[in-house]
Amino acid sequence: MERLNKFLAHAGVGSRRHCDTLIASGRVRINGRVVTNLGTQVDPDKHKVAVDDSPVRTERQVYWVVHKPVGYLCTNHDPSQRPLALELIPHVEQRVYTVGRLDEASEGMLLMTNDGDLAHKLMHPRFQIEKTYLVLVAGKPSIADLERLREGVWLSDGKVKAKHVKRVKPQGDSTWLRVVLCEGKNREIRRMLAKLGHKVMRLRRIAIGPVLLDKLPKGKARKLSLPELESLKKLVSTAASRAKKGE
């Protein structure tokens, strides 16, 4: 037996949070009966599960690293038919989704998977998984500016802060920074730096946890290696235990 939202997430329906929403709204059935209890347990070998009357079957889990160029969207559909990061991976039967989105003007590393449980832990700020970025900003941020980023900056949706930030090198009148975040609010780095008077010129994510973008060419994708996957799962397992102890 396993929790229903975990079963749905592993089947590629979506993140566990999204699956909870589906359950609560009465869109999930077990053996033909609607269930809305978020604590429902399911036996994959005995129960027939459906979402919106479509049978849900477990599928092989897949994990991809993608180097997203500027101009690509991190969504599975765009009415304006702009290019999608999803189109950068070879055709797979599984329904994969993006872990850790980047806005259209940003580039760098994305993870794509149908492992909803892993995706949830990587994205949720409760688990404090590090995401590392290289950021080119206008001007020359002072030591005081960097300290403010570490201490936290107030934005419209609350206080946000960088776990680590340091200057890497100058580039003309601009400066490259290395920024590490453990949250993922919309356009967080751009908004933090704008608050300090420094416009972001380029933003590239180079790592999620222990997995590095490394030399993967822009616009290309590769499968996550087994050692990378094992290290990622070990990281989120440790993070989950730490979060539970802190409750």
* Same-domain pairing of 106 and 148: no
| Number of H-type helices and E-type strands within the chain | 6, 17
Tell me which amino acid residue 60 is: R
User: Domain range holding 42?
Assistant: 2-55
* Same-domain pairing of 85 and 188: no
96 vs 92: CA distance, rounded Å: 8
Distances (CA, A) of 135 to 22, 74, 122: 37, 19, 21
239 vs 215: CA distance, rounded Å: 28
**Annotation marks residue 52 as catalytic:** no
Distances (CA, A) of 123 to 40, 154, 160, 170, 209: 24, 21, 15, 31, 11
We report the CATH number of the domain holding residue 171 as 3.30.2350.10
pLDDT score at 14: 82
pLDDT score at 87: 92
We report the CATH number of the domain holding residue 48 as 3.10.290.10
Low-confidence ranges of the chain (pLDDT < 70): 247
* Same-domain pairing of 112 and 156: no
pLDDT score at 247: 61
* Same-domain pairing of 239 and 200: no
* Same-domain pairing of 194 and 136: yes
* Same-domain pairing of 170 and 217: no
* Same-domain pairing of 45 and 165: no
Q: Considering 20, 52, 78, 103, which one is annotated as catalytic?
A: 103
* Same-domain pairing of 33 and 82: no
* Same-domain pairing of 195 and 217: no
Spatial CA neighbour of 129 closest among 8, 218, 239: 239
* Same-domain pairing of 142 and 185: yes
Q: Can you read off the two tokens belonging to residue 169? A: 């090198």
Tens-digit pLDDT profile for residues 12-41: 788 888 999 999 999 999 999 999 999 999
78 vs 162: CA distance, rounded Å: 31
* Same-domain pairing of 134 and 203: yes
Q: Is 101 exposed, middle or buried (0-12, 13-18, 19+ CB in 10 A)?
A: middle
Chain mean position to CA 21: 19
Q: Are 111 and 235 in contact (CB under 8 A)?
A: no
Number of separate domains in the chain: 3
We report the CATH number of the domain holding residue 226 as 3.30.70.580
* Same-domain pairing of 233 and 121: yes
What is the crossing angle of helices 116-123 and 16-24, to 10°?
110
pLDDT score at 173: 95
Tell me which amino acid residue 176 is: W
In the chain, alpha helices (H): 4-10, 16-24, 116-123, 143-151, 188-195, 226-245
Q: Are 85 and 110 in contact (CB under 8 A)?
A: yes
